[in-house]
Amino acid sequence: MKNFGFQYNKKDAFCSFCSRTKNPHPDYNEPIVVKKIKLNNKSLFICINCHFDFLDRADGNEYIFNNLIVEKYNLINLLQKANIF
């Protein structure tokens, strides 16, 4: 099994892509599981749900996976500048 480097039980866990802070699973009352990534010289966190969603969409292709993350992050920034997100 591949180690993705996720952090469990991080008190201030926050996903930079979906803005989640709490575990969406109803049976668990704990912070979301996140992974620290570097994007455009910024340190961001991606939750395990977003990570595997992007990975599924990319069919495991790392190049496509990275492009999806960049595009989503750029879209979020654009929407934040327009006060929509």
Type and span of the H or E element at 28: none
Residue among 74, 7, 64, 65 nearest 35 (CA): 7
Whether 84 has a pLDDT exceeding 90, the answer reads: no
Residue 1: pLDDT band with limits 50, 70, 90: very low
Q: Tokens at residue 29, please?
A: 């009352």
Q: Give me the pLDDT at residue 2, please.
A: 55
**23, 13 contact by CB (below 8 A):** no
**37, 45 contact by CB (below 8 A):** yes
Tens-place pLDDT, residues 22-59:
888 888 888 999 999 999 899 999 999 999 999 999 99
